[in-house]
Amino acid sequence: MMTKLEFSDFLLQFMSESDWRRSKVFFNNLIGRRTVSNLFWGAQYGLLPFFNLFKHLSATDFQKSLHALSQQGLILYQDNKVRLTKQGVKQKQIFTPIIALFKFKGIGLYTNIETVQSCIQLAVQITSEFAFQNNRYYPIQASGQIMNFCKKWFSQNKSRTLPQQLEKELSIFLAKLSDDDANAFANRFIGHENYGLTDQQIASALEISNFDWELKKLDLMTQFISWTQSDSDQAPLCAQLVAPWLKQTPVSMSSDLSYQLFLKYTNLDRVAQLRQVKLNTIKEHLLEAAILLPDFPFTQLLPASFPDKVLSYLNATPPQQWQFATVVQLDSKISFFEFRLLQIQRGPISYVD
């Protein structure tokens, strides 16, 4: 019998045998807590593709998974830090190829995938009930914001042919998927007198673990979202449901604003003045941009050269293990901002895998 993918196996993917890693960083990235420190270490640990995809993960459940891994001898877990054992490395490798199949591309940096999902579900339900000319039904529960959004979508598109149009759009998407994937996606829909299958029911129909289905579901939603972007002329109804929730940049709105101003004026103090915030805040904003954007102009912010002592230390040590305290001793002029920028520039950054 094949071993089924569980959440703890997923966690192993971000751990290493060679260094201790902070478990808080794992948790904060999975639930989508956006701070420079989280993003920086999240990038180092390979967590960014999964950023913000597990909003409902509770700290208790997360801790429990780590304790379980430690009890099975797969990891060492102390002082909120984790490290793989030899046995853990083996266990990690079993699932690495499976996890690699999921291509989330850091979708959680651009949107809250759950919001988009609720909108699709609700829009399908409203349209289905409309097709059956029924206006007395229990709507799926969602936040008031989503409810209002979907009502507006419906009243803008309401016509006799709406159900057929939406069906056609969904067919185009579903036809692109494998049969299993398309069936699973479509069986989640809730409509007139037919309420679809629960996650548990779909997982057991597909004979996979609940967690595996959870990842699969996120993956299908990610594919759906990118499809509405690339084929928006073929699928105007779906595109309308997705686009308003999608940012054009992985950087937060505030950071992006600072970054755009910096590109224009190339002067940090000027940006701080314009935005009426502290210089340090602007630096944080730029660090976020440096972590998340591929073409960040590092050279504009870094000194043209460093003393030889510093360079030889940096070249001899992997960026993840650089110590600011050591660098400062070698060159008292270097700031933490510059240190971190350099670390980002030289470090392994990839969330768009």
Partner 1 sequence: MLISDSQIFTLLREKFGFSDFKKGQLEVIHQLMAAKNVLAVLPTGTGKSLIYQLFSYLVNKPIIVISPLISLIDDQVAGLNRLGEKHVIGLTSKLDHEQRRFALRHLNTYRFIYLSPEMANQPEVLATLKKLQYGLFVVDEAHCLSQWGPDFRPDYLKLKDLLSQLNSPTTLMLTATATESVRQDIIKKMGFTDSTVQKVVYSVDRPNIYLAVEHCDTSNAKDEKLMTLLQTLEGSGIIYFSSKKKANRMTELISQKTNRSVAAYHADVNLDDRYRIQQQFMQGRIDIICATSAFGMGIDKNDVRFVIHYHMPGNLEDYLQEIGRAGRDQLASIAILLYTAGDEYIPSTLNLATFPKLANIQTFFERPESRDSFEPDQKQLLDFYRQQNVSVDEVNEIFEVRQQAKQTSLLQILNFVNEEACLRADLLAHFDEPAPVHDSKCCGIDQALSAIKALGLDTKKQSVPPSYKTLNLISWQSRLTQLFHRKNEHQN
| Rounded-to-integer distance, Cα 44 and Cα 46, Å | 6
The contact set with partner 1 (CB under 8 A) reads 56, 118, 121, 124, 127-128, 131-133, 135-145, 148, 163-164, 166-167, 170-171, 174, 179-180, 182-192, 194-202, 204-206
Q: Is 142:118 a contact under the CB 8 Å cutoff?
A: yes
The nearer residue to partner 1, 205 or 328, going by C-beta atoms, is 205
The nearer residue to partner 1, 190 or 352, going by C-beta atoms, is 190
Q: Provide, rounded to whole angstroms, the least separation between the CB of residue 97 and partner 1.
A: 25
Chain-centroid distance, C-alpha 192: 33
- 77 in helix, strand or coil? strand
The nearer residue to partner 1, 57 or 330, going by C-beta atoms, is 57
Name every residue whose Cβ is closer than 8 Å to that of residue 151 and which is 6 or more positions away in sequence: 126
| Rounded-to-integer distance, Cα 293 and Cα 291, Å | 6
| Rounded-to-integer distance, Cα 55 and Cα 351, Å | 18
The nearer residue to partner 1, 11 or 124, going by C-beta atoms, is 124
Q: Provide, rounded to whole angstroms, the least separation between the CB of residue 130 and partner 1.
A: 9
In order of 7, 25, 41, 59, 110, the CA distances from 64 in angstroms are 11, 16, 22, 9, 29
Q: Provide, rounded to whole angstroms, the least separation between the CB of residue 193 and partner 1.
A: 8
Q: Provide, rounded to whole angstroms, the least separation between the CB of residue 280 and partner 1.
A: 22
Q: Provide, rounded to whole angstroms, the least separation between the CB of residue 24 and partner 1.
A: 15
The nearer residue to partner 1, 91 or 117, going by C-beta atoms, is 117
